[in-house]
Amino acid sequence: DQQVKQNSPSLSVQEGRISILNCDYTNSMFDYFLWYKKYPAEGPTFLISISSIKDKNEDGRFTVFLNKSAKHLSLHIVPSQPGDSAVYFCAARGQGGSEKLVFGKGTKLTVNP
Amino acid sequence: AAGVIQSPRHLIKEKRETATLKCYPIPRHDTVYWYQQGPGQDPQFLISFYEKMQSDKGSIPDRFSAQQFSDYHSELNMSSLELGDSALYFCASSPRTWGPSGGTQYFGPGTRLLVL
């Protein structure tokens, strides 16, 4: 049972445009959400996070939006750059008080020059 | 900035052998987590430690054990290795921060284990 879902396995955008990566979750106990970027053969790199008491968090080109009623969050990258090409994982924490992260399957983003 | 260090980066073992993976957390991080990522899969939580005590347990096989030492580094011990144990093993660390704004986990580069 996948509690964190990233329904788009891949996304391709043009350099300079906006990239929007989506994530849905089923467990309302999650209290903290994170986005990680991952290159092949490397560990996930933390990008940005948001707690369940907020609906938006911004850091430079990256903005995460949280819609609790829809159990949906999204990562916006503006403007997209070729170096952003990687697999992006959505993760959630807090199920039953646990600190473990539950990951989605990931979305492979390709930013074309 | 210092990051999480994992060793070895690559490991090849035969079936039924044992393996030990090491993790050195970011300085002043007292919580360590272990994850396993199979090919084409998302990382799956195995186990975590806070102040040398097991704090949470996930889908870790009984053949695996782990501990955290006084210097906060952690070791994952894997025995009776099976072909299905071939995967990337990530360690992550975080400072112990409760509440909605803390607890970001920072990942190491991973150890790629291949069981033949």
Task: Check if the beta carbon of residue B77 is closer than 8 Å to that of residue B90.
Answer: no
Residue A91 pLDDT > 80:
yes
What would the pLDDT profile of A18-69 be if each residue is shown by its tens digit?
A: 999 999 999 888 989 999 999 988 899 999 999 999 999 999 999 999 999 9
- Answer left, alpha or beta for residue B99, where phi above 0 means left and psi between -120 and 50 means alpha: left
Residue contact A99–B104, C-beta within 8 A: no
Tokens matching residue A72: 């949906």
pLDDT at residue B63, as a whole number: 96
Q: How far is B15 from chain A (nearest CA, A)?
A: 23
A103 contact residues in B (CB cutoff 8 A): 42-44
pLDDT at residue B30, as a whole number: 86
What would the pLDDT profile of B26-35 be if each residue is shown by its tens digit?
A: 998 889 999 9
| DSSP line for A15-83 | TTS-EEEEEEE--TT--EEEEEEE-TTS--EEEEEEETT-SEEEETTEEEEEETTTTEEEEEESS--GG
Round the average pLDDT of chain A to a whole number and report it. Answer: 93
Distance of alpha carbon A99 from alpha carbon B110, whole angstroms = 20
Burial of B103 (0-12, 13-18, 19+ CB in 10 A): buried
Backbone angles phi, psi at B44, to 5 degrees: -115, 130
Using alpha carbons only, give the angle B71, B7, B90 rounded to the nearest 5 degrees: 90
B100 contact residues in A (CB cutoff 8 A): 31-32, 51-53
What would the pLDDT profile of B49-100 be if each residue is shown by its tens digit?
A: 988 899 889 989 999 999 999 999 999 999 999 999 999 999 999 887 655 4
| % of chain A residues with pLDDT over 70 | 97
